Structure 1
Amino acid sequence: MKAAQLTQYNKRNISLTLTQVEKPQVPTDHVLVKVTAAGVNPLDNMISRGEVKLITPYRLPLTAGNEMVGVVETVGTHVNQFAAGDRVFARLPLDHIGAFAEYVSVHASALAKVPDYLTDVEAAAVPLTALTIVQALNLMNAQAGNTIFISGGTGGVGAMAIPIAKAKGLTVITNGSADNKERVLALGVDRFIDYKSEDYTTTVKDVDYVLDTLGGDEMEKQMSIMKNGGHLVSLRGMPNGAFARRMKLPAWKQALFSLAGRKVDKLASRYGITYDFIFVEAHGGQLQDIADLFTQLKIKPSIDTVFPFEKVNDALDKVANSRSRGKTVLSF
């Protein structure tokens, strides 16, 4: 079968190699899926650059790709919740990725059934981002009636985070370019801030939670608008000791991440809040709950560009170097 593989880590070259590999075997607790579409994410490029080796060390060559949608072809003998012909999707387990291929063998616990109203391309945009949002809200212990600020909410993450946060009863504030205001308001956001004309650090205060999608200098700005006792979860910040312990990493890695994250932990302490970094994990049960919510609310993911599988490197380049109004997807 055809697959896109990472053959060496390279900070300056994120290109994958299209090659032929053997069709995967199907262990007793796995499902063989014929891939029809795959989401393309910043995480894919981070892996290629070697930026997540401390979290998940991969052996190369590695078939790349973290999320996919497809049709079940074969089920393992211990799998009874899926059958041949089911349309399924997944954020693949951290230690067993490989969505950029014609077939992938997936542990059944990572899979969920795709809502009927979504196309394959739309469905491929859901698992990784939606699970990130749900796991972040769970980490925050977000309670209905409280307020969340989602930084840079006009991109693909915001388009998913806003309706999920609203469905959980949160008041949602976000910022971004005014060009996207109407689209974001249509998602249900309670307050939109044009970052060019309004400084949110002077007009927003007493926020309970922050979902940080930007990292860098924006992080302290976001901390400054929070209530004492608030909780910030970052997708782009520095992993810290709490993250390493939550991921059950070896003791030496826990010590290393505790040291690396000390600065941001001290910053959070100064503002009287809790800081966490999140690295999304596979979870078929959570994804099925998301699918059910999507079916109820008829949420449509925002799609930016669809590339044929053979143009995988163009898709990765777009994710790395272009502004996006939604998800980049590969179609098989």
Structure 2
Amino acid sequence: MKVAQHIKYDKHNIALALKEVDQPNIKPHQVLVKVTAAGVNPLDNMISRGEVKMIVPYKIPQTAGNELVGRIEKVGAEVSNFAVGERVFARLPLESIGAFAEYVAVDAQALAKVPENLSDVEAAAIPLTALTIMQALDLMQVRAGQTIFISGGTGGVGAMAIPIAKAKGLTVITNGSGENAERVIALGADRFIDFKKEDYTTLLSEIDFVLDTLGGAETQKQMTIMKKGGHLVSLRGMPNGDFARRMKLPKWKQILLGLAGRKWDKMAEKYGVHYHFIFVKSDGKQLQEAANLLSQAQVKPSIDTVYPFEEINLALDKVANGRSRGKTVIRF
């Protein structure tokens, strides 16, 4: 079968090598998925550049790709909740990625069933982002009636974060370019701030939670609008000691990441809030919940470009260097 692999870590080259390998054998707790589409993400390029070695030290060569959709071809002896022929999707377990392949052996606990209203290409765009939102909200310990600010909520993350947060009973405020206001309000946002006309730091205060999709100087700005004791989860910040402990990383990595993230911890301490970094993990039950919420809200991800598998490197370059209006997906 065909796969796309990174064969060495290279800060200056994100291209993958197309190879032929044997079809995987499944273990009793796994299913064999014939892949029909796979999402392409900045994370895929970060792995190729060696930027996540501290968190997950993959052995080279490594078949790349973190999220997929496909149909089940075989079911392991210990799997009872999935059947041959079912359409499924997943964010693959951190230690066994490999979505850029014609067939993948997947732990059944990572899988969810694809809602009928989604095409394979649409479904391939959901797992990584939806699980990120679900796990961020869990980390914040949100409760109905509280308020969340989602920075830069007009992109792909916001398109899923807004309806999921609304389904959890939160009041949702976001910002972005004004031409997207109507679309974002339609997703369920209670308030939209046009960043070209208004500064959210002068308009907002006592916010319970922040989902930081921007990073950089915006992270500190977002802390200024928060309630004391509030929680900020950053998708673009720096891992810290708390993150390393949650991930159960070795002690020496906890010390190193504790030092690396000290700036953000001290910043959060200054404003009396909690800073969190997140690296999304596989969770089939959580993905199913997110998929059902998005289906009920009739939310579909925005798709930018679909490439054939053979053009995976064009897709990776698009994600790295192209201006996107949605998700990049490869199709088999």
TM-score, normalized by length of structure 2?
Answer: 0.98
1:39 corresponds to: 39
What is the CA–CA distance in structure 2 between the aligned matches of 1:82 and 1:325, rounded to whole Å? 34
Q: Which moves more between the two structures, 87-96 or 148-157?
A: 148-157
> What's the secondary structure of 1:47's corresponding residue?
helix
Q: Which moved more, 1:181-190 or 1:54-63?
A: 181-190
- In structure 1, the partner of 2:131 is 131
The aligned amino acid for 1:210 is V
Tell me the equivalent position of 2:165. 165
Other-structure match for 1:228: 228
Number of the residue aligned with 1:313: 313
Q: What is the number of equivalent residue pairs in this alignment?
A: 332
Question: In structure 2, what residue type is equivalent to 1:146?
Answer: Q
Q: Determine the structure 2 residue equivalent to 1:300.
A: 300
Match of 2:264, SS state, is helix
Following superposition of structure 1 onto structure 2, how do residues 88-99 of structure 1 map, counting pairs within 5 Å? 88-99=88-99
Contact (CA 8 Å) 2:163, 2:294: kept in 1 or not?
no
Distance in 2 between residues matched to 1:292 and 1:137, nearest whole Å = 16
Alignment map for 1:62-211 (pairs within 5 Å): 62-211=62-211
Asked if the contact 1:156/1:324 (under 8 Å) is kept, the reply is no
Say if 1:155 and 1:324, in contact at 8 Å, map to a contact too: no
- Does the CA contact (< 8 Å) of 2:90 and 2:284 recur in 1? yes
Task: For structure 1, list consecutive stretches of 5 or more residues without a partner in the other structure.
Answer: none
Partners of 2:296 and 2:204 in 1: CA distance: 32
The amino acid that maps onto 2:119 is T
Percent sequence identity is: 71
Q: Does the 8 A contact of 2:31 with 2:76 survive in 1? A: yes
Following superposition, the deviation at residue 323 of structure 1 comes to 2.8
Cα displacement string for residues 267-308 of structure 1 (whole angstroms, at most 9, x for unaligned residues): 000000000000000001111112222332222112122111
RMSD over equivalenced CA pairs, Å? 1.0
> Counterpart of 1:232 in 2: which secondary structure?
strand
Counterpart residue type for residue 78 of structure 2? H
Alignment-derived partner of residue 6 in structure 1: 6
- Cα distance in 1 for residues equivalent to 2:314 and 2:172: 34
Q: Is the 8 A contact 1:159 1:326 kept in 2?
A: no
Structure 1 position 322, deviation (Å)? 2.4
1:280, 1:38 → 2: CA distance?
17
CA contact (8 A) 1:175 1:192 kept: yes
Q: CA offsets per residue over residues 197-253 of structure 1, 9 Å max, x none?
A: 211111111111000111111110111111111100011101001000000111111
Q: Pick closer, same or farther for the CA change 1:323–1:195 going to 2, 3 Å.
A: farther
Q: Distance in 2 between matches of 1:246 and 1:98?
A: 24
Could you say what secondary structure the match of 1:95 adopts? helix
Give, in whole Å, the separation in 2 of the partners of 1:295 and 1:213: 23
Amino acid at match of 2:258: S
Q: Give secondary structure in 2 for the equivalent of 1:35.
A: strand
Distance, in Å, in 2 between the alignment partners of 1:214 and 1:6 is 28
Q: Which residue of structure 2 aligns with residue 48 of structure 1? A: 48
Letter of the structure 1 residue corresponding to residue 240 of structure 2: N
